[in-house]
Amino acid sequence: MASENGELTGAGYINHHLTNLTYGQLPDGSWGFAHGAQEAADMGFMAIHVDSMVWALGLGVVMFCIMRSIAKSFSSDKPSKVQCFVEALFDMAQDSKDSTFTKDAKNEWIAPMALTIFVWVFFMNLMDLVPVDWIPELAKLAGVGYMKIVPSTDVNIALGMALAVFIMILYYSLKIKGPIGFTKELALQPFGKYLIPFNLVLELVGLLAKPLSLGLRLFGNMYAGELIFILIAMMYSASLSLGVLGGVAQLGWAIFHILVITLQAYIFMMLTIVYLSQAHEKH
């Protein structure tokens, strides 16, 4: 929101930076981009966060191009430093898979998928280190009112990825255990055949909690980190002394946040492996 003289207030500054470029149905029935946070909220479920979608898919394409370039230049005689780094990442994903899956549960797709998840989520999280005003201000010059560049701070992106993992959980549960085996697992655990309704409630809650915990954990941590960057950025407009303090605080938080963005990508990868490992287990 703005003050009476048209200047953006602190609350308005935060609200602006936390609002997505949203496309949906406007109050007059036409379709277009929202002109504010309230209008975006009123668009409902069918609205699309265009900036989150573009940045998420764009970073996915960047990741694909980088990995493809490294794969094409692969050399067993004279490996480059980048190749060695990627091989170390793949070994990490493979070791994580091997330590979680049982010997009987063999699936060669899990480690490559885990590596893809880790790198993609890391790339999306990494955008949080870009100064909060740079790209939104450039977007303003191009006539775009809102621009959020960190896809993982959008709950729709985080839960969308978690939903994809959930679909894989259901697929492998049905494939490995069969429809009857999977149904028995939900109905007969943990208290046996005499408490089937109670078992179903417990198991279904546990099953549905997996994608929710997976997506909301990533979203919550990254959203909080983004909000702290925005609050620190507000110090620059207060006074010279607070601006200097804000610069120091921003540098310190950015250095610490490198650990956060890496850890969140790793946790998302590991939880995916753990959940898929449980889907492969026969009880």
Active site residues: 213, 217, 221
* Cα 75 to Cα 66, 67, 80, 92, 129, distances in angstroms: 16, 14, 8, 20, 33
Taking Cα atoms as reference points, which of 264, 263, 262, 280 lies closest to residue 109? 280
Q: Would you call the peptide bond into 190 cis, given omega within 30 degrees of 0 as the criterion?
A: yes
Q: How many Å apart are CA 75 and CA 124, to the nearest integer?
A: 29
The vertex-154 CA angle with 150 and 158, nearest 5°, equals 100
Kindly list the distances between the CA atom of residue 46 and the CA atoms of 43, 123, 150, 153, in Å, as whole numbers in the listed order: 7, 27, 21, 19
